[in-house]
Amino acid sequence: MTPLAYARLSIQKALLGVVTPSLRAVTIDVDEKKNKLFISFFYEGDITDELFDLASTAIAEVDVPGYCELDDQIQRLDSPAKIPIKGQLVYLRKE
């Protein structure tokens, strides 16, 4: 299984129970040369402490063997702003 496929499965499992109505999208990517994992959460509206904690918990649960460096991003992105997709979408809210 490729590192990106493994990362997708890992984040989808981690998303169980943390998806809220304000979550617009989650993207994931890997840099195989630098052994780095990129995860981005995009929310509609203010990011409350609860939403931040949910996203942080999901990010902490992602485990991709051999990838020790993590670059994560939790940001507000109100619609209709276009979601910047780096890598692959693992979650996309129907809008």
Which pLDDT score, from 0 to 100, does residue 51 have?
96
Q: Token match 């109100």: residue?
A: 78
CATH of domain 3-92: 3.30.70
Which pLDDT score, from 0 to 100, does residue 58 have?
93
Sequence ranges of the domains in the chain: 3-92
Residue 35 vs residues 3, 8, 53, 80: alpha-carbon distances, Å: 10, 15, 25, 33
**What global pTM score does this model have?**
0.90
**Tokens at 54, concatenated:** 């949910």
> Across the 95 residues of the chain, what is the mean pLDDT of every consecutive 10-residue run?
84 92 94 89 96 94 80 94 91 90
